[in-house]
Amino acid sequence: MNILELDNISKIYHRGGWFGRGSSINALVDINIAVAEGKSVGVIGRSAALIC
């Protein structure tokens, strides 16, 4: 049994710009993750921050 389930997660960061000339960074595109009961997950980001 899953205690956490995420489907089709996306995250886009938009950089500023004048008149729509900014750019976008696709950090996540259609990510799926499931965490089963009794399991743990650790995620380390670019800043080396650890999220558990």
- Cβ-Cβ contacts under 8 Å for 3 (sequence gap 6 or more): 35, 36, 37
pTM for the model: 0.56
Reported as type and span, the H/E element at residue 30 is: strand 24-36
User: How many structural domains is the chain composed of?
Assistant: 1
pLDDT digits (tens, 9 = 90+) for 11-48: 998 888 777 678 888 988 999 999 999 998 887 767 65
Q: Judge whether residue 52 has pLDDT over 80.
A: no
Note down the domain range covering 15. Answer: 2-51
Are the C-beta atoms of residues 29 and 10 closer than 8 Å to each other?
A: yes
Q: How confident is the model at residue 9 (pLDDT cuts 50, 70, 90)?
A: very high
